[in-house]
Structure 1
Amino acid sequence: MFPSLKRMLIGRPLKSKELGEQKLNKTKALAILSSDALSSVAYGPEQILIVLVTVSAAAFWYSIPIAMGVLILLLALIASYRQIIFAYPHGGGAYVVSKENLGLYTGLVAGGSLLVDYILTVAVSVSAGTDAITSAFPSLHAHTVPIAIVFVIAITLLNLRGVTESASILAYPVYLFVLALFILIVKGMYDIATGHVPAELHTSLGSPVAGISLFLLLKAFASGSSALTGVEAISNAIPNFKKPAPSNAAKTLIAMGSLLAVLFTGIVLLAFYYGIAPKADVTVVSQIAEQTFGRHFMYYFIQGTTALILILAANTGYSAFPLLAVNLAKDKFIPRMFTVRGDRLGYSNGIIMLGFFSIVLIMAFNGQTEHLIPLYAVGVFIPFTLSQTGMVVKWIREKPKGWATKFIINMTGAVISLIVSMMFFLTKFAQVWPILVFMPLIIFLFYRIRRHYEAVGDQLRLSTSEPAIKIEGNVVIVPVAGITHVVENSLNYAKSLTPYQLIAVYVFFEKEEEAAFVEKWSKWQPEVRLVTLHSPYRSIIQVLSKFIDTVERKASQSNYQVTVVIPQFIPKKGWHNILHNQFSLLIREYLLHRKNVVVSTVPYRLKK
């Protein structure tokens, strides 16, 4: 049943030689790798207004120069990551750049930040998309978390079907969103130019505002910079592109930056001219669309496509997280299971873990987007800062042709990213402080995992000085609970281990049980030695363990190996297992941790 369900949900398995067919062209890559950055247009301008409204609505005109600052940062980041794409064509982004140029520890900070950031990408995107739906249909507000969880599960399943298939499906809503916002911006600008938007809705540019300060403007700039999250995703996912991968990735990055700049600027201008103020239950884009078109078809079309791209922006995380996990796993900082491709040639373990942790985060924050965005944004700008700084160090060290221009570009990006990061810590510390707790924990976990792999490698390596154990024979112990085909099957297997000393062990609770069992055994298997053990506290494992320890000490003196053969019957149907005790599994699990004991399970499969 499970294999059939799996095939229905994620499709037939793909052969390894079909991997080339799973690469992305520029059109599909732009859709799935830019959806996070493009979707942030729906909440980035709103974050600026949320800060400015604390002074007054008169301060809204500052959103325009702040937006210009965000565009300058965007330009610096696009230029910087374009250089990273060509300098590191195998992907890895901030993690690889920081590790190679700033040291291993710095690389782990960047890698750990990005891992958390991609989890936040899914949580923020789906939460924001759910907000867009509930803005249009307020009766759904009470069901925000369940709706968000359903969307995460759906996107996870979609990505398990493979990169190409998910891209083919997700491209349509992304481009529909771009089209919808272009229509909104063009119509809004036309209304403004033709005088259909009353001038009294907004204050004049340059109007003095009491209470405004440089600190507050920097805070608004940092908040608005959350619209740049996802810019780094393309540099992480270069291996997903068709050849020539670096060239295609660079062109896709420029296309994404251009679209993001136009859409972000348009929404900021419309919000200013319409005098839009942020509201708790209605998004800024929703208010702009309603004032431009009224609550008619175009309003619902814009809200629908906005909700879709906000939800599907999570796909950027699903595209980049598994590839970053592969790089960390190859360096032995996270489990090796993240390097394994699934049935559909995607890194399924990374996809599943991303979906799981995103759901945990949505439940923990109750689907409240505004609480997640600051933590999300600071998790992006730390890798931004480190990757740009790493490239600065690279150019100074290598000094290739034209390095001075590259140096200036990366230095500009590093300085602005650092300022934004510091502003998040200074202005939103109550929301971003968790990163100061979990980042050291993540790096500590990285080192512990790597230490484990190194220890395992040292012990398994044939060049180790540890001598191989010489085995002269076997002392075979078979725990028995009755006289059955299961026990008979296990005894026959034990007798095949030659040379051997075979001991059957029966643990009893009452004296009457012992006498009856010994009598039956002497008639059934007289040639097999039977040892009976009394358990006054009805613990089979404890009594059996003590006996095995005693036998092991004596056997080791003669270079004999102690082997415990565990009889186990396998029911025909899986659910039948709950009808039987699982002593064989418990004994096996306990004995697997004994140093000098081999554990072997002999299955007896039932037919009814």
Structure 2
Amino acid sequence: MSMLKRLLIGRPLKSTALGEQKITKTKALAILSSDALSSVAYGPEQILLVLVTISATAFWYSIPIGIGVLILLTALILSYRQIIFAYPHGGGAYVVSKENLGMYPGLIAGGSLLVDYILTVAVSVSAGTDAITSAFPSLHEHNVTIAIVFVLFITILNLRGVTESATILAYPVYIFVFALFILIGVGIYQIVTGHVSPALHVPIGTPVTGISLFILLRAFASGSSALTGVEAISNAIPNFKDPAPNNAAKTLVAMGSLLAILFAGIVFLAYYYGIAPKNEVTVVSQIAEQTFGRNVMYYFIQGTTALILILAANTGYSAFPLLAVNLAKDKFIPRMFTMRGDRLGYSNGIIFLAVMSIILIIAFEGKTEHLIPLYAVGVFIPFTLAQTGMMVKWIREKPKGWVTKLIINSTGAAISFIVMLMFFLTKFTQVWYVLIFLPLIIAVCYQIKKHYDAVGEQLRITTCEPPAPIEGNVIIVPVAGITHAVENSLNYAKSLSPHQIIAVHVPFEREDEIIFEEKWNKWQPDVRLVSLHSPYRSIITPLTKFIDTVQRKAGESNYQVTVIIPQFIPKKGWHNILHNQSSLFIRTHLLFNRNVIVTTVPYHLKK
């Protein structure tokens, strides 16, 4: 197992190598923007899916709706840029909400993002798998298996360290961006040179029967799903090379610029080409086919799109562990998420994310498309809370230029809230789970923090009563027979307290009790033996009752009761299933139910 781990993950790194695991802006742009950039593949299509319910004439509304999405993107980029400098240690929406709005809003933001990153992995990998199996229909029945293999592959890459995963995964992301730039550039060139007929689309401003503000807001909310992943950089600031905040801010602006250009280009081409959404063919696929025909470039764009959808999962792997670290430091989730693995990454967070994503993929049989609204609303809740938290911060602190910052955050908060509200109003059947899992997350986090606080209070020397002095030891040794394992334990007990040792035997039959006592008196005459006949064939019940009796008497003289449990260890691990593991059950029961010291003395078998 150790060799396999080294092969898959690599050799352990020293803590001093942590600086080498920081990433440059170029690599960070690729691994932290993959989720946001991949949404270009389905964001414009979501707008058309709503407008087509009115008529094809309504497609011209995709242009002003797309402009609205870009305005929201601008507000979010400017806001998260401010968050990066205000909270340079990462945490994003969680830290902003907690420090400015309170613990519960912080937990809502943090919990939403944790769930959202799990959904990011499950939805992205499933979408990418669908794209592959659509090209190769014979693989369709293996969707779940293929998706799980992709999750395991990305997990192993991330366990190897941030720099290695960034180096490998950066190329496909930039190839996708390059492919879409070619698509948009060639498409616009053909429009400018008159190779695309203006008759394919209706002019902007054409009256549309049946259109309403509600429909437009619904289309806007659906198109805003293209903005998922924008917050990832603010969560992952510690992964950047120094100066981390400056590099993170530049990367965020670069991501926003790329996303704006690609999104605007796809929306414009879809409008000008008169593209209508189809179940079996994506909007990007239709644009590529009309631009290039079914040639090498078409398949190149389709291939890179499928790849970016899968690699969008890596945004979750980059942001989830660091967000989990912030929550764990505040005692809201288990402390294990703060531990770095052999390769200096937060491996517990990476593994937990992978396991939960695989469970989702299996539970939904790889068909996670109806989780997209839940995935989107899970982002806009933190968006709204983060913007509102920054508004409170500027009003409270009033730094230089705070009015401009307040306007930016107020605009972002208002639009984010409208989008979130539209998701609840129009897709309630798909997002109502939020109303269940968020209160559950808050309740669980509260109980975890309550536990950690209680443990800290009880362990803290300054607040705890000093323990009673220990005058001596009463040692109890449960014995099942006369063996080397028992002899080894008795020798250890004699080295601690030669005059206060009690061997305890629990026979099920009276005849066995008499025979054992005779053998014991010949073998260990200087060690007191207590036989506890058990007609109901239970070892633990009579043993614990006896220990309680001894403990009460020992407590009167400030004596500590120590139970020494003999245990033989087979040479091979699988041999353990051939034995009844009584020592394990006794130890577990005593540790959790009795105030005694439990010591296991192992005796290793050689064959």
TM-score by length of 1: 0.97
CA contact (8 A) 1:365 1:372 kept: no
Determine helix, strand or coil for the equivalent of 1:534.
coil
CA contact (8 A) 1:93 1:232 kept: yes
Gaps of 5+ in 1: none
Q: Which residue of 2 aligns with 1:237?
A: 236
The alpha-carbon deviation at position 500 of structure 1 amounts to 4.5
* Distance in 1 of aligned mates of 2:272 and 2:146: 34
CA contact (8 A) 2:485 2:566 kept: yes
Structure-2 change in CA distance of 1:58 and 1:144 (3 Å) = farther
Q: Which residue of 1 aligns with 2:182?
A: 183
Determine helix, strand or coil for the equivalent of 1:565.
strand
* Match status 1:446 vs 2:436: no
For residue 182 of structure 1, what is the amino acid of its counterpart? F
For residue 570 of structure 1, what is the amino acid of its counterpart? I
* Distance in 2 of aligned mates of 1:281 and 1:454: 54
CA contact (8 A) 1:40 1:226 kept: yes
* Distance in 2 of aligned mates of 1:104 and 1:358: 27
* Distance in 1 of aligned mates of 2:512 and 2:198: 97
The alpha-carbon deviation at position 150 of structure 1 amounts to 1.3
* Match status 1:372 vs 2:371: yes
For residue 378 of structure 2, what is the amino acid of its counterpart? G
More off after superposition, 62-71 vs 296-305: 296-305
The alpha-carbon deviation at position 53 of structure 1 amounts to 2.0
More off after superposition, 82-91 vs 196-205: 196-205
Determine helix, strand or coil for the equivalent of 2:281.
coil
User: Within 5 A, what are the aligned runs for 1:487-506?
Assistant: 487-498=486-497, 500-506=499-505
The alpha-carbon deviation at position 281 of structure 1 amounts to 3.5
The alpha-carbon deviation at position 422 of structure 1 amounts to 0.7
Q: Which residue of 2 aligns with 1:285?
A: 284
* Distance in 2 of aligned mates of 1:457 and 1:389: 33
* Match status 1:584 vs 2:583: yes
CA contact (8 A) 1:322 1:351 kept: yes
* Distance in 2 of aligned mates of 1:545 and 1:15: 46
CA contact (8 A) 2:112 2:382 kept: yes
CA contact (8 A) 1:132 1:283 kept: no
CA contact (8 A) 2:457 2:464 kept: no
Q: Which residue of 1 aligns with 2:508?
A: 509
More off after superposition, 288-297 vs 97-106: 288-297
* Distance in 2 of aligned mates of 1:108 and 1:245: 25
Determine helix, strand or coil for the equivalent of 1:350.
helix
CA contact (8 A) 1:10 1:157 kept: yes
User: Within 5 A, what are the aligned runs for 1:557-572?
Assistant: 557-572=556-571
* Distance in 2 of aligned mates of 1:299 and 1:569: 67
Q: Which residue of 1 aligns with 2:46?
A: 47
CA contact (8 A) 2:458 2:464 kept: no
Q: Which residue of 2 aligns with 1:163?
A: 162
Q: CA RMSD, aligned part only?
A: 1.5
More off after superposition, 307-316 vs 498-507: 498-507
Determine helix, strand or coil for the equivalent of 1:538.
coil
* Match status 1:363 vs 2:395: no
Q: Which residue of 2 aligns with 1:7?
A: 6
* Distance in 1 of aligned mates of 2:367 and 2:210: 29
* Distance in 2 of aligned mates of 1:292 and 1:581: 71
Determine helix, strand or coil for the equivalent of 2:462.
coil
What is the CA deviation profile of residues 210-261 of structure 1, one whole-angstrom value per residue up to 9, with x for unaligned ones?
2221111101110110100111111111111111111111111111011101
Determine helix, strand or coil for the equivalent of 2:504.
strand
User: Within 5 A, what are the aligned runs for 1:363-402?
Assistant: 363-402=362-401
Q: Which residue of 2 aligns with 1:594?
A: 593
User: Within 5 A, what are the aligned runs for 1:114-125?
Assistant: 114-125=113-124
CA contact (8 A) 1:135 1:283 kept: no
Q: Count matched residues.
A: 607
Report percent identity of matched pairs.
80
What is the CA deviation profile of residues 392-420 of structure 1, one whole-angstrom value per residue up to 9, with x for unaligned ones?
11111111111111111111111111111
CA contact (8 A) 1:177 1:302 kept: yes
For residue 227 of structure 1, what is the amino acid of its counterpart? A
Q: Which residue of 1 aligns with 2:17?
A: 18
* Distance in 1 of aligned mates of 2:464 and 2:318: 44
More off after superposition, 496-505 vs 77-86: 496-505
* Distance in 2 of aligned mates of 1:183 and 1:480: 79
Q: Which residue of 2 aligns with 1:315?
A: 314
* Distance in 1 of aligned mates of 2:546 and 2:384: 62
For residue 228 of structure 2, what is the amino acid of its counterpart? T
CA contact (8 A) 2:38 2:312 kept: yes
The alpha-carbon deviation at position 499 of structure 1 amounts to 6.0
* Distance in 2 of aligned mates of 1:513 and 1:275: 91
Structure-2 change in CA distance of 1:309 and 1:462 (3 Å) = same
CA contact (8 A) 1:330 1:336 kept: yes
CA contact (8 A) 1:474 1:499 kept: no
Q: Which residue of 1 aligns with 2:145?
A: 146
CA contact (8 A) 2:361 2:368 kept: no
What is the CA deviation profile of residues 299-340 of structure 1, one whole-angstrom value per residue up to 9, with x for unaligned ones?
222122111111111111111111111111111111111111
* Distance in 2 of aligned mates of 1:138 and 1:284: 20
* Distance in 2 of aligned mates of 1:187 and 1:589: 70
Structure-2 change in CA distance of 1:243 and 1:465 (3 Å) = closer
* Distance in 2 of aligned mates of 1:287 and 1:293: 10
* Distance in 1 of aligned mates of 2:525 and 2:294: 90
Determine helix, strand or coil for the equivalent of 1:90.
coil
* Distance in 1 of aligned mates of 2:593 and 2:255: 58
What is the CA deviation profile of residues 535-590 of structure 1, one whole-angstrom value per residue up to 9, with x for unaligned ones?
22222222222222222222212222111111111112212212222111111111
Determine helix, strand or coil for the equivalent of 1:592.
helix
The alpha-carbon deviation at position 98 of structure 1 amounts to 1.2
CA contact (8 A) 2:22 2:239 kept: yes
